[in-house]
Chain A
Amino acid sequence: MPLLVKVGSFLRNYFFSRRVDADLDQEVHSHLELLVAENIRAGMAPEEAQRAARIEFGGIEQVKEQVREAGVGNWLHSVFADCRYGLRQLRKNPGATAVMVFTLALAIGATTAIFSVVYGVLLRPLPYTDANRIMAVFEVNTKGTWSHLADPNFDDFRDQNRSFQAIAKYNQDVVSVSGPSQPTRNMVAGVSPDFLKVFEIQPMLGRDFTASDAKKGAARTVLVSYGYWRQYLGSSPDLSQSHLKIDGALYSVIGVLPAAFPFPADVDLWLPADLDGENPSRTSHNYYAVARLRDGVTVEQANQDISAIARRIHDTSSEQSDFLLKDGVVVPLQDSITGKARPALLVLLGAVGFLLLVACANVANLLLAQATARERELAIRSALGAARGRLIRQFLTEAFLLSLVGGGLGVLGALWGVTGLVALAPQNLPRLDSVSINIPVLVFAFLLSTAVAVGLGAFTAARATSGDVRKGLGEGGRGQTGSQGSQRVGRVIVAAQIAITLILVVGAGLLGRSLMKVLEVNPGFRVDKIIAMDVSLPWEGWDNPKAKASQAIFFSNLIDRLKQIPGVRRVGAASGLPLVEGGLPNGMFLLASQNEVPKTIADDLAAMFQQKERVGIADFCVATEGYFQVLGIPLIRGRTFDQHDGPDSPHVAVISESLARDRWPNQDPIGHTIEFGNMDGDMRLLTIVGIVGDIHEYGLDAPPRPTVYVNLFQRPRSAITLTMLSDADTRSVTSAARGILQDLNPEIPAKFRTFSQVYSASLGSRRFNVILTGFFGIVALLLATAGVFGVMAYSVSRRTREIGVRVALGAGSGDVLRMILSQGLRTIFIGVAIGIAGSLALTRTVESLLFGVTATDPLTFGGVTLLLVGAALLACFIPARRATKVDPMVALRYE
């Protein structure tokens, strides 16, 4: 019953508020009349009775307000009232409101867009059961860098650990697949049998690998991705007839994985690893490893466990060298996938956060100016019974309206912005496909808007309701004394804005200068007019001379045919292009003379590798003569390859300049012989015949690496990249080349791209960071300039009378200009000083992203400071000029 009454009152208060109010009004007045009547009965004169009754009753409006506040549902009612009132306030100053909403929309939108990238890449959990229990396992080498695992080491980790409920190794490769349809180049993963158990994934159709599928010589089996099954196997529910020819060997399809299993990224097929047997070397690092923690085991414990096993291997292994593991490490898989992207994304998030602060400062200043103008209104409302809490709530409501409208528009903008960001983002940014505006991002945007609203609302409310509101009535609207305080606050805000903007622009400047420095680097090769074509023949094993001979003939024919395409000037081939992700394999070579050729790998070679003075480390690149010509890699001395270097003549090598300098200081390396058989299984010695220029193969910002080039026709391999230097149209060359390949072998697919695309992609992440921080910097600069202008213009308009008096007393326009400018300059310099100090402290966080400049680069600091001071001075100058135009007569009559 009481509940029903309550609901009834709520509805009545809500829907018949006018009648309820009229009723209350009547009640209060009748009470007053009764009081008067009582007083008259007690013998007072009528006027006296009126007065006494009013005194006893107190403020009529206040009493009514108190009753209303006690009412059920009043809260909701008054929120609506506040909103209505707030909207009316905002509509009253449409210009200022539009500026504030736009500023907030821009800042909240930009922050939301960047957060969506940070969330998608760094925070969003991987899409597996208990994904945070899935770890990546690495070896740690003597230099402290993390590397892949060698087979025997993985086996020891697997068999000896006490931390994992499942551990598996995997690698990735691109292969030719034919069978159901046109030959395609697909990404495959070679995995050990527990791979899916680590992810706790079951095939949606068919079965998982078993231990016997992975045994040496077992029948060849393959798991396919859902997408591959749909596209190439016709979604057939019966897999018994599905076979795929992968690199020439026939595999039976045994299962289809669920649609959303994206690991490793872009893989279509999973094969058992090591069907040809494991590599017994502990220094051949060919596999990644993933593992799932046992229940109750921490990452820390797993680390200690793996580390202990690794050190035991290190201490007992016979293969002591720089390539033998020294330690092992376990990290969450998510961190290992996104680790490289983390610093840059956090810097971007920080930058956009700064932009948000600058934007909020502008809005705060605008609100502050309005609040000053509203002092009278506040005074009247409080005289009419509004409690201070109610006034504060009014400000909060207005700030909420602003922020939510701004935030809503910002999210709309972010929807569009995220599409742009994803398009702009570097291709190597992991997990880019999981970036979107989703529920957590929307929650973030809402919380952000709320935080902004609370901040702005509390700030203006605290400023506006501090002190005695009654003063507002007495002041008669001149508001000169009351505004002194708020002007000081305004200047503090502007100084903070300048400081934050300076930090942001310095950061953007450092990144921009780094990009310029990177672009200044001479890569050591030509970029334009080169078309690359990836071709992969079936892999026929390491030790198959007949297959290698036919590969050499195939590529030789292919190169000859490609040269005849109209417009193609030169054709080369190499095992890897510079600037491509992944890079070339590297390893240890041996300085050996003709009569020292080791007879048995295990004994003699191991002994020779112990002799430090005859060991060198280099990248290994299989190339043709044409490769140097196409890329324009200069010959420093000796010769590159020529037609005399056949498979049966002495094998030759060309080395890079840095290798010559480091390994043969003060000597001529030409004529020396080396053994580099651990790269391709060929133990024949290589005679150094030439030295070529260094190239920045791992990116312009990475130093050149010592490289050994061997001749493709002496050391053939199955997968190469052909390079064509062509003046003709890319599309016509591409289709001609595709036709030639079809003609030579219809089962071999090819992939094309231009070298400029590769080059451009290699700069992708730097460009991304520079564009974004630059954009944020420019916006912050504009906002800060607007902030300075606003505060100065406001101050000048407030001081019109004072300036008028000064001019009337004989101050020249120069004096006035100086006075206003010096006031502005003080604010600017304080801001700049704080900003420089802040930059010195904060630019260290971007140090890892810099190239060729230090985090305290004086040129950047100086340039940015000048830019900022210049812009701020300009913003001061306009109001200052206006001040000099003040006509003393008008100013003195002002108001």
Chain B
Amino acid sequence: MKSEPTTLLQGTLDLLILKSLIAGERHGLGISRRIQQITGGTFVVKPGSLFPALHRMEEEGWISSFWGESENNRRAKYYRLTKAGTKQLQAETKRWGRISWAIAQALEAS
């Protein structure tokens, strides 16, 4: 398991977590693995970043949590998107689109 020294931009982690939950509820490790998967292994979210972010986002009301059974019958805490979270995801996506377009423009300029 290699970890690229890519630091997450402020807000990017939130965006990635929201995105990873779009297909349904996941537990912490599931979210972490999903992010790793959808970013092609670029981002490995360590528990030290993941848990504070999850709890913060839950307190913001973007995600909610419940205890459930994991795939191999273990108790695990699951997270899912709330309505506010879906809205936040759209907003963040738009914002990210603008930023990446702007950065791309900046880099293309000679």
List residues of chain A with CB under 8 Å of any chain B CB: 1-2, 4-6, 9-10, 23-24, 26-28, 30-31, 33-35, 37-38, 56-58, 62-64, 66-67, 69-72
Contacts and interface: CB of A to CB of B under 8 A. Distances in A.
A27 B48 contact: no
A58 B3 CA distance: 14
Contact of B70 (A34, A63, A71): A34
Given A5-B61, A31-B28, A34-B70, A63 B56 contact: no
Interface in B76-110: 76-77, 83-84
Name, among A23, A24, A26, A63, the residue most crowded by chain B CB atoms within 10 Å (CB to CB): A63
Contacts of A63: 47-48, 51
Contacts of A23: 77
Contact of B61 (A1, A30, A34, A58): A1
Interface string B49-93: 001110110111110000000101011110000011000000000
Contacts of A33: 74
B76 A28 contact: no
Contact of B52 (A10, A58, A69): A69
B37 to A, nearest CB: 14
Interface residues of B, number: 25
A94 to B, nearest CB: 39
A16 to B, nearest CB: 14
B40 to A, nearest CB: 19
Contact of A30 (B46, B56, B59, B77): B77
A31 B48 contact: no
Given A6-B60, A30-B75, A1 B55 contact: no
Majority SS at the chain B contact face: helix
Contact of A5 (B46, B53, B59, B76): B59
A31 B47 contact: yes
Given A5-B59, A27-B77, A34-B76, A58 B84 contact: no
Contacts of A69: 52
Contacts of A66: 48, 51-52
Contacts of B55: 24, 67, 70-71
A69 B52 CA distance: 8
What DSSP secondary structure best describes chain A's contact surface?
Answer: helix
A3 to B, nearest CB: 8
A34 B72 CA distance: 9
B48 A62 contact: yes
A9 B58 contact: yes
A30 B51 CA distance: 13
A784 B29 CA distance: 61
Nearest to A71: B55
Nearest to A60: B47
A10 B61 CA distance: 12
A1 B60 CA distance: 10
Contacts of A38: 29
A504 B64 CA distance: 65
B102 to A, nearest CB: 28
Given A9-B58, A57-B47, A67-B51, 16 more contacts: A6-B60, A6-B61, A23-B77, A24-B51, A26-B75, A27-B51, A27-B76, A31-B76, A34-B29, A34-B70, A34-B74, A35-B29, A58-B46, A58-B47, A63-B48, A66-B48
A71 B51 CA distance: 11
B34 interface: no
